[in-house]
Amino acid sequence: MALTRDQIAMRVAQEFQDGNYVNLGIGIPTLAANYVPNNIEVMLQSENGLLGMGAYPTEEQVDADMINAGKETVTAITGASIFSSAESFAMIRGGHVDFTVLGAFEVDVNGNIASWMIPGKLIKGMGGAMDLVAGAKNIIVTMTHADKYGNSKLLQSCTLPLTGVNCITRIITDLAVLEVANGAFHLKERAPGVSTDEIKEKTAGKLIVEGDIPEMTF
């Protein structure tokens, strides 16, 4: 079966390494803050000016002044720091974020990402995604493998306005973990109970499958 949003976030958290500075985008990526492994220390950054973001608050912990970039209430871990949005973007643009986790509308085999607008639909603006894809050392995309109509979001070439070019290296969807290299998606893991054939069927871009593909573990 396809992963839930929380299961995708759990798999994302497995990518964290001790000492990492990680930016979490709006949506599924922010859920990863709840699943940081207990045996490592990670500093999660929110682009509105928080370094050291913790898990979502319980009802007793809610502080309306402590929010992430998606305007959701969050907590801060010991050692966290709060600063201006300008300083936050200086950190991102200076290459001081080890990797960022972003959502996307589309990703293609050349590592291009479209994540900020759908022509004809109301948008608030491009946000910080363009800075993040240019400044982060590694970028992980989280999204559903297909849209609500069943159309693949992993394409040979993006059709929507691009956020970044040749920048995506790893994708975690509700069906699979894939790496982007040499003009193709490379299947590395599949969601428990999801067949390789289903992933092939729902991947529009060139997909390379080598050997037996293991199931994700949590």
Report the alpha-carbon angle 12-17-21, nearest 5.
90
Burial 140-156 (b: 16+ CB within 10 A, else e): bbbbbbbeeeeeebbbb
Q: Decide: 31 and 72 in contact? Cβ < 8 Å.
A: no
| Single-letter amino acid code for the residue at 46 | S
Q: Decide: 15 and 140 in contact? Cβ < 8 Å.
A: yes
Given 15, 47, 87, 189, which residue is catalytic?
47
47 is catalytic: yes
Distances, alpha carbon 180 to alpha carbons 13, 97, 157, 171, in Å: 19, 21, 13, 8
164 DSSP 8-state letter: B
Q: Residues with catalytic annotation?
A: 47
